[in-house]
Chain A
Amino acid sequence: MSSTDSKKLLKNSCKLLFLCLFLTIKQGCSTSIPMSLNSVQYQISGLSDLLIIDNVSLGKSAVGHAQLNMIIRNISEKPVTVEVNTNWYNKDFVATEAPSGWQRINLSHQQSYVLNTSATQLSSTHYVVNIREI
């Protein structure tokens, strides 16, 4: 192997190493968290620092539909206005009904709100709650 060839090989190896390093760093910096069933998704980062979700329970309504109860507490020192909606799915993460409307909740500092929402189909067994700040 001539010295020119070895230089070329070294150059290409460096390029490859740099690319690998770049991709690894990019992957490490990625903030997207996969959505999971029975979870609360904050649509604005930083909202999770203002609110605590507590006492989550998934029961049944009087007609047998899934009924979600949770306490949303404002742990910040300022009033927070959020909107909450619920999407209902079956166990395979297939949407079973139209998403609920966005319910507005005004929380003064340290105030709690009991969110109580029901599905409209018997096939709705799992939920994803979305919270966005106004």
Chain B
Amino acid sequence: MDKFLFTFICMVTLLGCASTKTPNASGIETKYVDPTLESRSSGVGLESNDVINMTDSMVRSILNDPIFVNLKSPPRILVDETGFTLDGNTRINRKLITTKLRNGLSRAAMGRMVFVARYAQQAIMAERDIKRTGMVDRGTIRQTEATAGVDFKLVGSILTTDERHSNGLTSRYHFINFELIDMELGVTVWADAYELKKTGADDVVYR
């Protein structure tokens, strides 16, 4: 009888410890938030809405520049983080900006410009090698002597300056510069910038 009572008490105790259906019920519930909205944190760095608005603004600026209108064939453009520098106190993944920009341009350009996938060069070379050794067939489209050379490369920089106020707040001014460089002649064919200034407690850690 004592054994039965002990087992019963154990079972009741275990049932009481069973987790509820809501994950992390005792903590703060995870929510999806609109990335285009201003962050609720009080940081002075670049956030999702800044990246989205900045890249959209640059896509519109590039696609409305007459420099690309009279070209005989769609220009080959390289947009990656290799020419995009971070010269300031803001911590941001540069690849996030260049990838979002390339993605936006690629979707909106609809063949008016093509994007050189230099970031996948190693994989491209490996595939070309196994095609040429006969390990796999030639594919269905074509074979070329070489991979695509770049006509224009996007370069840029994130520049910042900070101000510390006596009340403990910090202001940060961002100047994010974008340029397209003619990779044969070596001149800038398009340039634009995105500016913003934020004031806050600067107690947010950006990773």
Contact = CB atoms under 8 A, between A and B. Distances in A.
A100 B64 contact: no
A101 B52 contact: yes
Given A63-B69, A121-B110, A134-B38, A101 B53 contact: yes
The DSSP consensus for interface residues of chain B is helix
Nearest to A60: B64
Nearest to B61: A118
B107 A98 contact: yes
Interface in B38-80: 38, 49, 52-57, 59-60, 63-66, 68-69
A102 B64 contact: no
Most buried by B among A61, A102, A104, A120: A120
Given A100-B56, A101-B52, A134-B38, A63 B110 contact: no
A120 B52 CA distance: 16
The DSSP consensus for interface residues of chain A is loop
B161 interface: no
Contacts of B60: 100, 117-120
Most buried by B among A65, A67, A97, A103: A97
Contacts, number: 49
B53 A103 contact: yes
A44 to B, nearest CB: 14
A11 to B, nearest CB: 48
B125 interface: no
A120 B104 CA distance: 11
B108 A121 contact: yes
B24 to A, nearest CB: 30
A63 B108 contact: no
A105 B69 CA distance: 31
B65 A63 contact: yes
Interface of B: 36, 38, 49, 52-57, 59-60, 63-66, 68-69, 104, 107-108, 110, 196
8 nearest CB pairs, A to B: A101-B56, A101-B53, A120-B108, A62-B66, A61-B64, A120-B63, A118-B64, A101-B52
